[in-house]
Amino acid sequence: MPDQPKSLPIRGDRRGNGRTPAQTNEGSVSHNQGSEEARLDAPRSTPRVDPQRVQSRRAVDDRRQNSAIAANPIFPREGIPRSYQIAPGQEQQNSRVSASGALMFNSTLDLTLRAFANIPRGDYGNVAAYLRANPSIIRANPQDLRREAIHAYQYASRGSEIQYSGKMMYGDSCIQQYLILKRLQQLIQKLVERRQTRRGPTEGLDDLIKSYFDQLLDKTSSSRKQLYEEFNEACANAKRSVQSTNPNPHPNAPRAQPAQPGAHARPPPSQGQRHSVSGRPPPESPLVDPNESATGLDSRYIVRPSSYYQAGRVFAILWHEPFNDSQGNTYLSDNVSTGLYGERIYSSIRRMVVVRQDHGCSVCIQINTYGKRGLGKFKTSQRDIDAHSIIHMDDTTPRQLPGEPMSDKRPIAVRKASPDQQLNPWSRLCYSQPHTVQHTVKALDVGWVVKESLPYLLSYFQKVNALP
């Protein structure tokens, strides 16, 4: 019979170097497959390493990583505890920090009052429901909520971007609850005085609270308008006190302007100039914010960092454009003013969606209602119809008007940034008219496109604006 071919030696095969499976150079039992220098097939460029030093170094590494791997087997390095040093002079009862390096926020409120403070700004229904379930809060000191708001603003001025945004919103809700509680106590005091003097009809406490919140839920009531005005003033005062005690505020923190007589009054209009006194937005605006009035923008309109303008972000800004009534646009004359060289300017609140972030600016597309006509404005142009999508909040159903032409693009859903944010049912997103928005403008956070809709948003924008 012919000789059987011998198998070639392979890496890790001890038969290739003429040793028994359990025999090493020193005759001891081998626990591995030999060092690189003992292998015949090892490359010449392999560095020679002392096996004892390698093994000792691995032992040190294993001792350092055992606890981390047990805590986080996927990313063990993230489980290694880190220590952070907090600058002196910060008002922090507990200097501990989390593994991610976030400063711990220590609330000064008890659990019941803290839950009350956590109700978002503008959610008056839940505020009323919580007060009915916890009537003892009415006897609490409103100043505790104001101090909590200042504490939250101080924390936001030292934290990261995410901490800044979250604690600023928490501080705003504390200010709102502070004002509501203060107003309720004033109304209760007046009720007690009427009962003591028996002047005029008196009502029960529950009826008084219900009546007050019914007024807050009415967008046109004087009580709601008064609350907005008091909120802007109290919020500015709280942030001003933070700036006076914190020499190194967060770079994105809004700076409160010093109070001046008549600071909220509008300047007298020049000849031929017409200013908005009603505070109503134009029919083109898909969302009406009751805080956007003739007294100035809501305090939530602030200059935001470039990192805020990520693709899918939805925000509102004060928008100016040349006035043109020759095309049948439904402008409100109160929103038209005369600018430089006598040119007429139309101003309104616009909602924008970011589709691309650049250096210092973003490319955005606009949300329109087209005078509550939706896509009915473009009945004669299927190309214009297909350049739009219905855009809606993710807690509502996309709505199409009776007789409105249908676009070939699916609706885009938006997650609201706060409970008071909403989009008009006739809101339509226009892909064919992109705008450049500078990051130096003041913007109100409306929300963000949900992750299920974001790929469609970006794909539609590229498709509509692609060169033929």
Percent of the chain with pLDDT over 90: 25
Higher pLDDT, residue 468 or 230:
230
Query: pTM for the complete prediction?
Result: 0.40
For residue 252, give every residue at least 6 positions away whose Cβ sits within 8 Å of its Cβ, in sequence order, or none: 161, 164, 302, 303, 304, 305
Q: How many CB atoms lie within 10 A of CB 452?
A: 10
Structure tokens at 77: 């390095």
pLDDT at 178: 92
pLDDT at 68: 42
Three-state secondary structure along the chain?
Answer: CCCCCCCCCCCCCHHHHCCCCCCCCCCCCCCCCCCHHHCCCCCCCCCCCCHHHHHHHHHHHHHHHHHHHHHCCCCHHHHCCCCCCCCCCCCCCCCCECCCCCECCCCCCCHHHHHHHCCCCCCHHHHHHHHHHCHHHHHCCHHHHHHHHHHHHHHHHHCCHHHHHHHHHHHHHHHHHHHHHHHHHHHHHHHHHHHHHCCCCCCCHHHHHHHHHHHHHCCCCHHHHHHHHHHHHHHHHHHHHHHHHCCCCCCCCCCCCCCCCCCCCCCCCCCCCCCCCCCCCCCCCCCCCCCCECCECCCCCEECCHHHCCCCEEEEEEEEEECCCCCCCCCCHHHEEECHHHCEEEEEEEEEEEEEECCCEEEEEEEECCCCCHHHHHCCCHHHHCCEEEEEECCCCCCCCCCCCCCCCCCEEEEECCCCCCCCCCCEEECCCCEEEECCCEEEEEEEECCCCHHHHHHHHHHHCCCC
The per-residue pLDDT for range 235-281, each reduced to its tens digit, is 888 888 877 665 554 444 444 444 333 333 344 444 334 333 333 34
- What is the residue whose two structure tokens read 């055992």? 66
Phi then psi for residue 390, to 5 deg, are: -70, 135
Q: Map out the domains of the chain with their CATH numbers.
A: 111-245 (1.20.58.610), 302-464 (no CATH)
Angle at 32 between CA 28 and CA 33, to 5 degrees: 100
Lowest mean pLDDT among 273-287, 313-327, 357-371: 273-287
CA distance 322 to 337: 10
Whether residue 428 has pLDDT greater than 90: yes
Q: By the 8 A CB rule, do 371 and 330 touch?
A: yes
Percent of the chain with pLDDT over 70: 62
How confident is residue 200, by pLDDT bands cut at 50, 70 and 90?
low
Higher pLDDT, residue 243 or 356:
356
- Between strands 412-416 and 442-449, the pairing is antiparallel
CA distance 87 to 207: 50
The count of residues in the chain is 468
Whether residue 438 has pLDDT greater than 90: yes
Whether residue 56 has pLDDT greater than 90: no
Whether residue 61 has pLDDT greater than 80: no
For residue 116, how far is the Cα from the chain centroid? 21
Q: By the 8 A CB rule, do 424 and 391 touch?
A: no
How confident is residue 444, by pLDDT bands cut at 50, 70 and 90?
very high
Three-state secondary structure along 145-162?
Answer: HHHHHHHHHHHHHHCCHH
Higher pLDDT, residue 173 or 166:
173
The per-residue pLDDT for range 381-420, each reduced to its tens digit, is 999 999 999 999 999 999 888 889 999 999 999 999 999 8
For residue 19, give every residue at least 6 positions away whose Cβ sits within 8 Å of its Cβ, in sequence order, or none: none
- Between strands 412-416 and 344-357, the pairing is unpaired
Q: How many CB atoms lie within 10 A of CB 84?
A: 12
250, 94, 263: which is closest to 171 by C-alpha?
250
CA distance 211 to 123: 16
- What is the residue whose two structure tokens read 């470039």? 306
